[in-house]
Structure 1
């Protein structure tokens, strides 16, 4: 048995039941997300390794936490120009072995954007969206990504990790949807439409509560 084999079969510190609960609580936006959710539940329950232990592709399928930062006052989302991917993406990173996915958001938010993670009231500390994506290029692998939503004013982000990103941009929902697919994470348009629906639903509930 090699040292790598030992890492791959080491037991997970984080209960798989917690991950299954997180995934099970996500309401699928469309058929593709339903398919991804079903496949992810099967993957977690199978006993397969869940966490990356060696960059970039060991194991070949592993957990990622994305976080989309929303300036709710301005109605803008933050996207970053990721150096390796060559795409505009939400910020985020790989979940460490035994790490809670929300804890990964807190850690990566501090490292990449220099701010503390504040969960959006739309979602709390729960993921809004899930994707399963095969990366491109050499050493391709599969990212199982939980997408979280954070609240932050654009003025609070004054720096970012230049080793990871070339630039950052704040875009409205409409501007994100106008961007060509091949410049963005392949699921960014779908996430944006799901977020629009979630924001409208929350606004409707708040309006109904205020009127009662």
Structure 2
């Protein structure tokens, strides 16, 4: 094998090792997250593709960066009404090939909300939660999602990507937990409970 062929492989190996380290740094909230962390670590340690190459489902499993916007002063979380999913979700998007997941947060935050991503003080530029979710509807696939928390005052969010979202809402954690799970990301209640625990 020539050096020109070995360099991409070595780079891919380093990137996978960094992703495994990122996943290993997440403390599981419950047995489901413990299971999801194990699935993600095994997947990232293997040779299967990690990044989405073609919308919406190639490859069938790919990496996503969610970022939950938290107004720490008002103790409220931002949720968006996602057009395609038909659910209230955190903001976020697919990680591009070779892209660092935090860089994906920064990019998607600018694209979706028009503001710069500011890492929360308690979590920094590291994910606090991980989920493995099978999507529904056309183009079903599996999202391996790293959940980050960023800080922003609600007043600073003055616009959003109307092509992707129909509305936005700021809710307290208690209000999120009062929402029917059928209207939210299926793991939103679990994330909210973990967030309350981590910040207590």
TM-score normalised according to structure 2 size:
0.94
Would you say 1:148 and 2:148 are equivalent positions? yes
Equivalence for 1:206: none
Aligned equivalents of 1:193, 1:172: Cα separation in 2: 12
Aligned equivalents of 1:35, 1:142: Cα separation in 2: 15
Would you say 1:21 and 2:2 are equivalent positions? no
Aligned equivalents of 2:168, 2:145: Cα separation in 1: 20
Aligned equivalents of 2:173, 2:119: Cα separation in 1: 19
Count matched residues: 191
Aligned equivalents of 2:120, 2:87: Cα separation in 1: 25
Q: Which SS does the other structure have where 2:159 is aligned?
A: coil
Would you say 1:104 and 2:104 are equivalent positions? yes
Would you say 1:119 and 2:126 are equivalent positions? no
Displacement of 1:163: 0.3
Equivalence for 1:67: 67
Q: Which SS does the other structure have where 1:15 is aligned?
A: helix
1:129-179 deviations in whole A, cap 9, x for unaligned? Answer: 000000001210000000000000000000000000000000000000000
Aligned equivalents of 1:170, 1:123: Cα separation in 2: 20
Equivalence for 1:81: 81
Which segments of structure 1 move beyond 6 Å, counting only runs of 4 or more? none
Displacement of 1:122: 1.0
Equivalence for 1:36: 36
Summarize the alignment of residues 167-206 of structure 1 with structure 2, pairs less than 5 Å apart. Answer: 167-200=167-200
Structure 2 unaligned residues grouped into runs of 5+:
1-7
TM-score normalised according to structure 1 size:
0.88
Aligned equivalents of 1:137, 1:68: Cα separation in 2: 24
Equivalence for 1:45: 45
